[in-house]
Amino acid sequence: MPTLLAPVALAALVALAIPLLIHLARRTEQRRTDFAALRWLRAKPRPRQRPRFEEWPLLIVRLLLLAMLALWLARPVTPAAADLRPRVYVVPGLAATTATPGLGQSAGGHWLAPGFPPLDSPAPTGTVPVASLVRQLDSELPPGVAVRILVPAMIEGADAQRPRLSRKVDWRVVSGRMAAPRFTPVAPTILAIRAAPGRRDTRYLAAVASAWTTDGTSPDIAPLTAPLPGTATTLAWLNGGTMPAKLVAWVRRGGTAIIPADMAAPPGPDSIAARDALDHVFLRVMPLGEGRIFRITVPLAPTTLPALVEPDFPDRLLEAIRPVAAPARADAAQLTPETGAAPTFRAAPLREWRDILALVMAALFLLERWLATRRRRWVGP
């Protein structure tokens, strides 16, 4: 149904009175004819005449031009018609011909890949995030559209959560195989230390930094005034009080910081990151911006943390700090989408009619100029 984005602009319709007043006040050209005998007649009052509009075609064109201008300012729009035809999606790695029997009256087949390219285009290469793309198409398709998804028996590119959609999809497992993901070696974790003078806990984390070093280089241990390392390096900041602003900004940019128990972290929700052999929590983690803050909950001393002097403490601390990648391979049957999610479909963009109205106004303007300047115009008596 058409609607107006700026209905207040219709107030410009009052300008329609301008051509009416002009045509009332300004009569068309009249020719004067003198008769010699009339000069001797006594002047009498002229009879009253009713208001009369002349040159009706020109008046109508001018009124239409102003009306179109007011409508153009009001920005009329109409919603685009939703395409409710069924959809068929094929996971890359399968043959495009597997979707042929199910196309029927559908809107055509598409690859389940970023951008959802049509099946007649080359098959996308590499691993695609299947679960994420399924959620995306569910949010972009209008409610009521039937969806069929053809998948292989083993899904590459799954995430840790089963898709939950607002509609029931036809999830079909067919023969085929997705491209295996490329193996990305895990970069070694490097620990740099910035410590205040006289901190006794520096030697314990220095031993951890040496254990994490695989190339034999000396750990980066410096005073608090030293420059901060890159965000790819884990940083232990050993000092009391509150976190300095430069350290907070460094974490927000994606850094990982370890702070002692006598340093206060910015307010925010945290969770348990590690426990000792007695099931006591000694490390908590809090997200901050794009980075993380690990706060040691007890003083770094063997009396308060006996695990500190155990040989496997560096490995246990590394396991707690290093992010764990979620499994990306899953059985297609176990990844069948569930229903029950709230619809998140966003209506198609509205179609504006300003371009068409602009063309109509241009045509009316040319017609108005032709009617106003033509040689053979109506001439009054």
3-state helix, strand, coil in the chain (%, to 5): 30, 20, 50
**Rounded distance between C-alpha atoms, residue 316 and residue 318, angstroms:** 5
**Rounded distance between C-alpha atoms, residue 234 and residue 232, angstroms:** 7
**Residue 253: what pLDDT?**
92
**Rounded distance between C-alpha atoms, residue 145 and residue 138, angstroms:** 9
Output DSSP code: residue 187.
P
Identify the segments of the chain with pLDDT beneath 50: 379-381
Instruction: Please count the other Cβ atoms lying within 10 Å of the Cβ belonging to residue 115.
Output: 9
**Residue 239: what pLDDT?**
93
Position of tokens 């009521």? 144
From residue 369, alpha-carbon distances to 57, 195, 279, 375 in Å are 12, 83, 91, 12
Q: What is the dihedral of CA 296, 302, 306, 311, to 10 degrees?
A: 100
**Residue 379: what pLDDT?**
47
**Cβ neighbours of residue 3 closer than 8 Å, sequence gap 6 or more:** 76, 77, 78
Instruction: Please state whether beta strands 220-223 and 191-195 pair in parallel, antiparallel, or not at all (unpaired).
Output: parallel
**Residue 297: what pLDDT?**
92
**Residue 380: what pLDDT?**
47
**Residue 102: what pLDDT?**
53
Six-digit token pair at 365? 């303007």
Contact 232, 187 (CB under 8 A): yes
**Residue 381: what pLDDT?**
45
Contact 93, 176 (CB under 8 A): yes
Instruction: Please state whether beta strands 3-4 and 76-79 pair in parallel, antiparallel, or not at all (unpaired).
Output: antiparallel
From residue 12, alpha-carbon distances to 62, 70, 253, 357 in Å are 14, 5, 52, 16
